């Protein structure tokens, strides 16, 4: 069944890409954004640094892609939220997974290191918004629009505000380590968001 | 009317205290938490460093007190939210003021510098929770409890979650510079929180 597989060169590229992403995330966790170099990432990933320069124009875009890759599916095919027609069930599935990720040191450490940088760097936070936050938010908003069409969410709800009410409490609790990150908390955030924005 | 004035020594102490707080906030904005010393704060405030050591046991407690002082009244008499009996009006007043503060460079810069430190320091974030976040949250919860007793807020509402829904969107938007910090935004956060937690 050769058509179900990617050609060898494409699979090799994907392996290199994932190795580069893993090396990038590991190094920003350990050393912080400022001290990580393309050379060091290339050495750790076992690729030539020209490979990295060919695929990414800057360290920032590589780092944001490496974080975005955590949310892609196994084929590297981008991000989409589940849509079973039940917004409460779908959001609880997503938020439970998200809360579990932020409770996982391997996931949260590179994002904490990155957050430290972007909150103090106007250029980097702009790149973050464009390369990482917007694609994630667009995927979430597509699911919220489907819920609006199904009459499960107010048709006039400001979707940026919906996403803030859903995610910002988790972001703040994680960043300030101010409370437990549990499945019950994930469910409570979904319940309260749907209550605030119901039709 | 001598009884309406503080004695001279008390007024002098309060002037020194405010000068120390102002110097502390200015220096953490400019240099960051790690590089600020008690000696440098004392020199800038025009007091002896023994004065500072007599009043504060550590740099952390001084810094958190200097931020907390921004929310005290003019007499340095601690924090309390207005209670006119109308929770919507009172919260909108408070949130409009809070949003304006986070849009003000003189206010937000020391808090941004401090946030950068506490999110990466387990000991410092514990001090932050005890010395700064908890006193602020306690004052806010007292107002929310009054609203619960007046039937304006669900009696079984989790007040930690209420505060997260009210403040965390502002915190995230400010920290990530991801949207405008306006009076309309302050009002929207109050409206959505009261809707989510109404009886």
CA–CA distance, B114 with B107 (Å, rounded to integer): 12
- Which of A116, A122, A165 faces B165 most closely, judged by CB atoms? A165
Kindly list the residues from chain B whose CB atom is less than 8 angstroms away from the CB atom of residue A158: 188
pLDDT beyond 90 at A87: yes
List the single residue in B with minimal CA-CA distance to A129: B178
Residue A70 burial by CB count (10 A; 0-12/13-18/19+): exposed, middle or buried?
A: middle
| Total CB pairs under 8 A between chain A and B | 85
Q: Is the domain of A114 the same as that of A51? A: no
Please tell me if residue A135 touches chain B, with a CB cutoff of 8 Å.
Answer: no
Q: Are A27 and A54 in contact (CB under 8 A)?
A: no
Is the residue at B130 inside a domain? yes
Tell me, what's the pLDDT at B73?
A: 60
Does A76 reside within a domain?
A: no
Nearest to A168 among B129, B169, B196 (CB): B169
For the segment B113-129, the average pLDDT, to the nearest whole number, is 88
Cβ separation of A119 and B176 shorter than 8 Å? Answer: yes
Residues of A whose CB is below 8 A from B115? 119, 175
Residue A140 and residue A174 in one domain? yes
Total domains in the fold of chain B: 2
Residue A78 lies in a domain: no
Residues B65 and B92 in one domain: no
Average per-residue pLDDT for chain B: 89
Please say whether the beta carbons of B71 and B107 come within 8 A.
Answer: no
The pLDDT of A134-142, averaged and rounded, is 93
B175: nearest CB among A119, A122, A193: A119
B-chain CB neighbours of A192 within 8 Å are: 161, 165, 196-197
Higher pLDDT, B165 or B25: B165
Q: Is residue B126 part of a domain?
A: yes
> For the whole model, what pTM was predicted?
0.84
Q: Does residue B77 sit within a domain?
A: no
Where is pLDDT greater, at A94 or A131? A94
Which has more confidence, A83 or B12? A83
Q: Is the pLDDT of residue B124 over 50?
A: yes
pLDDT tens profile A148-161: 999 999 999 999 99
pLDDT at B33 over 80: no
User: Residue B1: its pLDDT value, please?
Assistant: 41
Answer whether residue B82 is part of any domain: no
Cβ-defined contacts of B121-128 (< 8 Å, 24+):
B122/A177, B124/B33, B124/B60, B125/A176, B125/A177, B127/B60, B127/B61, B127/B64, B128/A176, B128/B60, B128/B64
Q: State the pLDDT at residue B3.
A: 45
Which carries the bigger pLDDT value, residue A109 or residue B177? B177
Domain range for B143 is 87-196
A81 CA to chain B: closest CA distance, Å?
22
User: What is the pLDDT of chain A when averaged over all its residues?
Assistant: 89
A182 touches chain B (CB under 8 A): no
Tell me the per-residue pLDDT of A51-73, one tens digit each, with 9 for 90 and over. Answer: 999 998 888 888 888 888 877 76
Exposure pattern of A72-90 as b/e (b: 16+ CB <10 Å)? eeeeeeebebeeeeebeeb
Look at residue A187 and tell me whether its pLDDT is greater than 80.
yes
pLDDT-derived band of residue A2, with 50, 70 and 90 as boundaries? very low
Determine the average pLDDT of the residues in B36-64. Answer: 90
CB contact under 8 A, B116 and A112: no
Chain A residue with minimal CA distance to B190?
A196
The CATH number that applies at residue A106 is 1.10.357.10
pLDDT of residue A156: 97
Strand residues in chain B grouped as ranges (E) = none
Is any Cβ of chain A less than 8 angstroms from the Cβ of B178? yes
pLDDT for B63: 87
């Amino acid at each position: 069944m050769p058509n179900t597989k990617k050609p060898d060169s494409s699979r090799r590229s994907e392996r290199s890409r994932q190795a580069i992403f893993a090396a990038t995330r590991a190094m920003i966790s350990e050393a912080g954004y400022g001290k990580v170099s393309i050379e060091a990432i290339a050495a750790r990933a076992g690729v030539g640094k020209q490979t990295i320069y060919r695929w990414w124009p800057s360290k920032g875009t590589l780092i944001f892609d490496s974080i975005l890759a955590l949310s892609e599916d196994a084929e590297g095919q981008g991000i989409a939220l589940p849509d079973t027609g039940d917004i409460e069930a779908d959001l609880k599935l997503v938020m439970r997974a998200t809360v579990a990720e932020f409770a996982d040191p391997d996931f949260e450490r590179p994002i904490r290191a990155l957050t430290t940088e972007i909150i103090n760097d106007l250029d980097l936070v702009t790149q973050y918004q464009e390369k990482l936050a917007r694609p994630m938010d667009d995927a979430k908003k597509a699911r919220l629009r489907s819920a609006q069409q199904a009459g499960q969410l107010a048709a006039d709800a400001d979707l940026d505000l919906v996403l803030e009410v859903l995610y910002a409490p988790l972001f703040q609790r994680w960043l300030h380590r101010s409370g437990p990150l549990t499945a019950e908390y994930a469910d409570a955030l979904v319940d309260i968001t749907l209550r605030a924005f119901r039709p």
